[in-house]
């Protein structure tokens, strides 16, 4: 069974740039996996940041961007701010209508 992988944790300095990745235990992520990214703070519903690999959801600042880097989907945050400290999840379309989340990355801004 293919598992969606994410870094468990990451740290970035305020104003810095960080790239979170979303991969597969078997195979490469491409645009046909329709990668999407979600930000979640404790006690809140997730917020959609990116869908269809690189399309920003309405109201999402342009310092959040999505891409395919090598064999993984990637979320890059440019000019990190304190309130970017959150959990970030990726979601991939596998096939036959089935979607799978990654385990999430806890981002610390310090």
Partner 1 sequence: QLQLQESGPGLVKPSETLSLTCTVSGGSISSYSYYWGWIRQPPGKGLEWIGSISYSGSTYYNPSLKSRVTISVDTSKNQFSLQLSSVTAADTAVYFCTVRGGCSGGNCSRARLWGQGTLVTVSS
C-beta closer to partner 1: residue 17 or 31: 31
**Site of interaction with partner 1 (CB under 8 A):** 31-32, 34, 36, 38, 40, 45-48, 51-53, 55, 57-58, 89, 91, 93, 96-104
User: Cβ 86 to partner 1, closest distance in Å?
Assistant: 13
C-beta closer to partner 1: residue 17 or 99: 99
For every residue of the chain, which 3-state class applies, written as one string? Answer: CCCEEECCEEEECCCCCEEEEEEECCCCCCHHHCCEEEEECCCCCCEEEEECCCEECCCCCCCEEEEEECCEEEEEECCCCHHHCCEEEEEEEEECCEEEECCCEEEEEC
């Amino acid at each position: 069974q293919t598992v969606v992988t994410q870094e468990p944790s990451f740290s970035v300095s305020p104003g810095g740039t960080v790239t979170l990745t979303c991969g597969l235990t078997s195979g490469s992520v491409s645009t046909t996996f329709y990668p999407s990214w979600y930000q979640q703070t404790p006690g809140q519903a997730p917020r959609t940041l990116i869908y269809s690999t690189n399309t920003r959801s309405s109201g999402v600042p342009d310092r959040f961007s999505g891409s395919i880097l090598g064999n993984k989907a990637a979320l890059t945050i440019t000019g990190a701010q304190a309130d970017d400290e959150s959990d970030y999840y990726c979601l991939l379309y596998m096939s036959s209508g089935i979607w799978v989340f990654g385990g999430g990355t806890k981002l610390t801004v310090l």
